Structure 1
Amino acid sequence: MNFQTIEVTQQGRVAVVTLNRPEVRNAFNETTIAELTGAFRALGDAPEIRVIVLAARGPAFCAGADLNWMKKMAGYSHEENRADAAQLAEMLRVIHTCPKPVVAKVQGDCYAGGMGLAAACDVAISAQEAFFCLSEVKLGLIPATISPYVIRAMGEQSARRYFLTAERFDADEAKRIGFVHHVVPAAELDAAAEQIVKSLAANSPNALKEAKRLVRDMAGMPLSEALIADTAERIADIRASEEGKEGVKSFLEKRKANWA
């Protein structure tokens, strides 16, 4: 694939999608949105890919929306704004529902829509030096399209504060509220991400896909008889699957599974 605003590379079974607009702090526009959507769809369908890393070049991970794009949007009609927002919402949905585990490697500042990108991933690792900010209300806007993912990541109570105050907060606070999983010095970020990727890549591809779907479907659901029945059906299905049978068999035989 040929891209203008991102790079996609493959390292064995791992694909790395890199935001590549460092001159504008990796702010995204309609081209970036389309390219990220297409890349994650293709990588999600690629059988040789086990894990996807979302990274960025330059000092910032993502500063949110590109200023020139925002200027253009200022003249949009309500219908044009809705169509434009729908494309951003679809990009986030595609990343969030990607059948492969996605690791966000946040090497620098992560603002506004950039927080949506990180929150749509399954695992987020941040450099100690990074800062975070949901700045939309300062511009008279709200973080609407990113809100389903950011609220799930940081929790309702923290979202009440940071959606409203637009405060800038550091990586330690991002970890405290659950927005990122790990915080390491910048010099250790690659190694920390590599360790997570290695752990993910060793697992059953089908089980990873189904485990992702399990979390999405179960989070926040009431503990009902239907829910309990659903969980029983899922474990029955996965036990009867080829990888499920192979995984148990390899464990009992004390050998590596055939997907390793």
Structure 2
Amino acid sequence: MLENLHVDDSIQLERHGSILTLWLNRPESRNAMSLKMVNAIQQVFADLADDTSIRTVILRGQGGHFCAGGDIKDMAALRVEATSVGSLQPYVDFNRRFGAMIEQVDQAPQTVVAVLEGAVLGGGFGLACVSDVAICRDNAQFGLPETGLGVLPAQIAPFVVKRIGLTQARRLALLGVRFNGREALQVGVVHEVVNDAAELEQTLQATIEHIKRAAPLASRATKALLHRTLNEPLESLLDDAAQQFAQAVGGAEGQEGTMAFIQKRLPNWTEQ
């Protein structure tokens, strides 16, 4: 369980009831994503996969930045390793590990909230694109700088396209332009933009309250259903969704939700 999980100090975990905050914790490098950080995030989300006691995971960065992308020091170490083995495989393995981590966050059954400040670049941009709710400061700096460095946003690209569509993804990835929170809202990367730190915290708390009003199991099932809409035939998907709906109506959450509505009170899961 999460309480017994020992993770690298590149991240910090902070739990309040059903809310878990995962802090990216390399402020000296604007939370650049090292292999250790990638592995630590994977550990956490693997542990959370079947943990129904955690309803929300909040992704944040220490030191006023979310994430400035991949760690250049790791790339230098990979270059040495690739030279020593005479193969590009170390680069392949490193890059694919990052993609696996992004996919884990994307598929997490919990509601994932990204709180975006400062640098939201490269891998950090990709991580923002797999959040369910993204809140950012107006002066945050977004971008996909990979092509300007002679590389590709290889593992990030599919998730960026799903988030904002192919037309916008092409412009941002091929030009490598930087843009602020207001434009991030316009293109669909984020859902809300705030003007200062106090408003950021207020908006986050309001978001958490909304999440708590949704039934925990119904939220997990809904998120899974939404993901399936991208890949499955419509008729069979709707047939299965009808079965899930029937089970939910007759289940404990459906009954509690109905009674709470009739009795004009909040359902019991809002207290969790």
Would you say same fold, with TM above 0.5? yes
Partner of residue 215 from structure 2, selected from 204, 209, 213:
204
* Unpaired runs of at least 5, structure 2: 1-5
1:73 equivalent among 64, 78, 91: 78
1:62 aligned residue: 67
TM-score, normalization: structure 1? Answer: 0.93
2:18 maps to amino acid:
R
Query: 1:246 aligns to what?
Result: 256
The match for 2:103 among 60, 82, 93 is 93
Q: How many matched pairs?
A: 259
User: Counterparts of 2:246 and 2:191 in 1: how far apart (Å)?
Assistant: 31
Moved more, 165-174 or 85-94: 85-94
On the 8 A contact 1:15/1:43 being kept in 2, the answer is: no
Shift of 1:38: 0.9
Instruction: Give the superposed CA RMSD.
Output: 1.7
* Alpha carbons 1:89, 1:146 under 8 Å: kept: yes
For residues 254 and 175 of structure 1, do their structure 2 counterparts lie closer, same or farther at Cα, with a shift above 3 Å needed?
A: same
Shift of 1:132: 0.5
Letter paired with 2:23: T
Identity in percent: 33
Are residues 1:47 and 2:52 paired?
Answer: yes
3-state SS of paired residue (1:80): helix
Shift in Å, 1:220: 6.8
Whole-angstrom CA distance in 1 between matches of 2:226 and 2:52 = 22
- Structure 1, unmatched stretches of 5+, are none
TM-score (norm 2): 0.89
Query: 2:173 maps to what in 1?
Result: 163
Per-residue CA shift, 1:208-234, capped at 9, x if unaligned? 101111111113766x43333233233
Partners of 2:67 and 2:196 in 1: CA distance = 16
Residue of structure 1 in register with 2:201 after alignment? 190
2: CA distance, partners of 1:6 / 1:145? 21
Q: 1:50 to 1:136 in 2, by over 3 A?
A: same
What's the offset of the Cα at 1:59? 3.0
